[in-house]
């Protein structure tokens, strides 16, 4: 399953938010990224804080202005990438300077077309897509302890303010990220359980 890492605003009715809703039944792993929405569950996705370049990134979808896109490219330029991502510039995200930077970096890119329209026009939604299971660690302000949670978007009933979230992701993030929290969780495996079983045990 291809991962689409989505950069933009996830306020109601914004294009990036609508992408999560419109493509939730298609065969893609949707990875929304925005620090203001960190840890929130939107449609069948959980919002990450930033691009995690320690993992493979298939496609980065930019619902951003050109100046913001250049900042993203600057970060990618100095990152030790596991693989080169494709950059999908939604209408309004491109500029001559942005295109020149992308080409100099050697990245594949798309411009001038909407990724949502392209997918809907050319692909068929899945008849039944399994709900993704998410993992989130946040600081409980009363006990001052970190709380690790494990849930689907249907099971999620409590929102946590972004400033209290320490980490969140799905099973691929938990498996592959070099972030200190998933690395620590993986270190707790007793050698006789899957990562999903370990995560469930830590939530009890």
Q: For the chain, how many structural domains are there in total?
A: 2
Residues 118 and 173 in one domain: no
How large is the C-alpha radius of gyration of the chain?
A: 17
What does the pLDDT read at residue 157?
Answer: 61
Over residues 94-151, the pLDDT tens digits come to 999 999 999 999 999 999 999 999 999 999 998 766 678 999 999 988 888 999 999 8
Which of residues 122, 147, 168 is at a domain's end? 122
Domain membership of residue 87 (yes or no) is yes
Report residue 111 as tokens: 């411009």
pLDDT at 97 (0 to 100)? 97
**Torsion angle (degrees, nearest 10) of CA 64, 3, 153, 183:** -100
Range of the domain at 170: 133-202
Q: Bigger pLDDT: 127 or 61?
A: 61
Q: What is the mean pLDDT of residues 80-101?
A: 96
Residues 87 and 160 in one domain: no
Give the domain-ending residue among 88, 122, 156: 122
Predicted local confidence at residue 129, as pLDDT: 67
| Terminal Cα-to-Cα distance of the chain (whole angstroms) | 30
Q: Are residues 103 and 164 in the same domain?
A: no
Query: What secondary structure, in 3-state letters, does 38-65 show?
Result: CCCEECCEECECCCCCCCCCCEEEECCC
Least confident range of 46-60, 127-141, 151-165, 184-198:
151-165
Mean pLDDT, rounded, for 66-85: 95
């Amino acid at each position: 399953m291809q991962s689409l890492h989505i950069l933009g605003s996830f306020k109601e009715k914004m294009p990036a938010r609508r992408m999560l809703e419109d493509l939730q039944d298609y065969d893609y792993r949707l990875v929304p990224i925005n620090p203001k929405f960190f840890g929130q569950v939107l449609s069948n996705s959980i919002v990450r804080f930033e691009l995690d370049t320690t993992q493979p990134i298939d496609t980065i979808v930019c619902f951003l202005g050109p100046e913001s896109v250049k900042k993203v490219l600057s970060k990618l330029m100095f990152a030790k990438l596991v693989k080169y991502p494709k950059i999908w510039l939604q209408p309004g995200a491109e500029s001559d300077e942005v295109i020149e930077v992308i080409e100099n970096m050697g990245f594949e890119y798309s411009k001038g077309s909407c990724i949502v329209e392209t997918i809907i026009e050319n692909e068929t939604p899945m008849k039944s897509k399994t709900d993704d299971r998410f993992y989130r660690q946040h600081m409980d302000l009363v006990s001052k302890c970190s709380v690790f949670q494990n849930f689907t978007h249907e099971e999620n009933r409590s929102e946590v303010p972004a400033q209290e979230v320490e980490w969140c992701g799905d099973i691929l993030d938990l498996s592959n990220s070099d972030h200190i929290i998933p690395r620590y969780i993986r270190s707790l495996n007793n050698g006789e359980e899957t990562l999903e079983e370990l995560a469930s045990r830590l939530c009890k």
